[in-house]
Structure 1
């Protein structure tokens, strides 16, 4: 069974992989030629592994195979493929990615942020990326909100409907532990970071893109949906 772990960069994908590995012992591979995050943080830290076959091999397997991607939904993704679609407020994701690329740890790179808002990377713009996975809706593509993941990671993962078996005594590392391991990667760990990191003119640029407006309206509707008990 192939399950995509899909998100725009800096939307909690690595934290989700850590939760899945720490609580359930499930490792994830990536669609790319190498796993830069696992190389940076350590494979046993994030639960990384080499992709154990072609995508078709993984589809045909009886075992669960998680594959991370930051790409928009494309020809590699079959319509019947299952996916976890992890979504974070686009403004927070963008400033987090731009901050990671900044030469100064004390400020967001305006050049990088403008480039990312304009979709000048392989992940495309935030709105294009998110809408590619969420529109049209499909029951085999499950939406997971970043806010829910960081608020209660165990309940968030249990809501995904994956065939998982809990590792006895396993726990999720706290944000303080993650920050201590790599403070530049695990930077703030909460929502609303754009409020003091995104300049007003670039905030306006973000909203000037119709796909961002559409995706933000969709995100807000998802945030208002009733939660399941314990979720």
Structure 2
């Protein structure tokens, strides 16, 4: 069954997937940039095309979310699946997923004041525009028809930063929800990754037995600097092309050094803090 790895963009989902893919899909626990492909993304255009679904018809696509998930879901094994989607009913009638085919969800959250600068850099957009999207728009990310890269053709209803975080709490039913803060994953990777593995094994009703050698290798080879060096050396498929320079925008840019106190305009900081006061206080960001 599916364990969702959910987050708003630029919130640490890649780091989480890197750690899990290195631990579960490698022999020694040593991360490389290709191994992350073992974790599916949803929605993904290819999955719908394989079932003959018209991807140009947005309602037809969301109408078939559950059907598509059922095609790759294996009830007797864990299927990790990444998403940036909100968790609610599209067109007020089509659910993103359900608890019958979902084993649980790990949600990664990051201080929105750092998300906004990271997302702006990644998308080659202004910080002001990205802040507006995060605060006010149920934003559709991707274009089903324009991009040549299939991953970028996937339409994703992000919701606002706050609604994206809030909607996934519905998985708290039967303790199927684990909240992880990106900041904790960076500063205390051993402690947080142990918590993640305990959650996964519990969901799968298996006794936790951690391979210490693999575990240590995972932590060592998924540090920001290590992953940044891999991208410089080998490139990373999830990075985007700068339309002005035709060169790839570094995916691993500042990481932990992305500090809103130094980078973010005070007016934008204030806007974000007012818009997400409830969520930020709840998470300890305010």
* TM-score, scaled relative to structure 1: 0.73
Distance 1:191-1:89 versus aligned 2 partners, 3 A rule: farther
Q: Deviations over 1:138-194 (max 9, x none)?
A: 310111111221123343232122138649544333321222215821122227621
Distance (whole Å) between structure 2 residues aligned to residue 167 and residue 28 of structure 1: 22
Matched, 1:98 2:128: no
Contact in 1 for aligned 2:162/2:279 (Cα 8 Å): yes
Distance (whole Å) between structure 1 residues aligned to residue 5 and residue 282 of structure 2: 19
Contact in 1 for aligned 2:8/2:161 (Cα 8 Å): yes
The runs of 5 or more residues in structure 2 that have no matched partner are 27-37, 47-66, 89-94, 140-156, 202-207, 233-248
Match of 1:32 among 26, 43, 54: 43
Distance (whole Å) between structure 1 residues aligned to residue 252 and residue 263 of structure 2: 16
Contact in 2 for aligned 1:4/1:69 (Cα 8 Å): yes
Distance (whole Å) between structure 2 residues aligned to residue 99 and residue 117 of structure 1: 18
Match of 2:283 among 191, 209, 219: 219
Distance (whole Å) between structure 1 residues aligned to residue 138 and residue 253 of structure 2: 24
Partner residue in 2 for 1:128: 163
Deviation at 1:5, TM superposition (A): 0.4
- Equivalent position SS for 1:190: helix
Contact in 2 for aligned 1:88/1:147 (Cα 8 Å): yes
Provide the aligned length of Structure 1 versus Structure 2.
199
Q: Deviations over 1:120-141 (max 9, x none)?
A: 5231211111111126843101
Distance (whole Å) between structure 2 residues aligned to residue 55 and residue 88 of structure 1: 27
Q: Which has the larger radius of gyration?
A: 2
Superposition map of 1:1-231 within 5 A:
1-25=1-25, 27-33=38-44, 54-74=68-88, 75-79=95-99, 81=102, 82-102=104-124, 109-119=127-137, 121=139, 122-134=157-169, 137-138=172-173, 139-160=175-196, 161-163=199-201, 166=211, 168-169=213-214, 170-171=217-218, 172-180=221-229, 181=231, 184-190=250-256, 193-209=259-275, 212-220=276-284
Deviation at 1:30, TM superposition (A): 0.9
Deviation at 1:115, TM superposition (A): 3.0
- Equivalent position SS for 1:159: helix
Distance (whole Å) between structure 1 residues aligned to residue 80 and residue 171 of structure 2: 22
Distance (whole Å) between structure 1 residues aligned to residue 42 and residue 124 of structure 2: 26
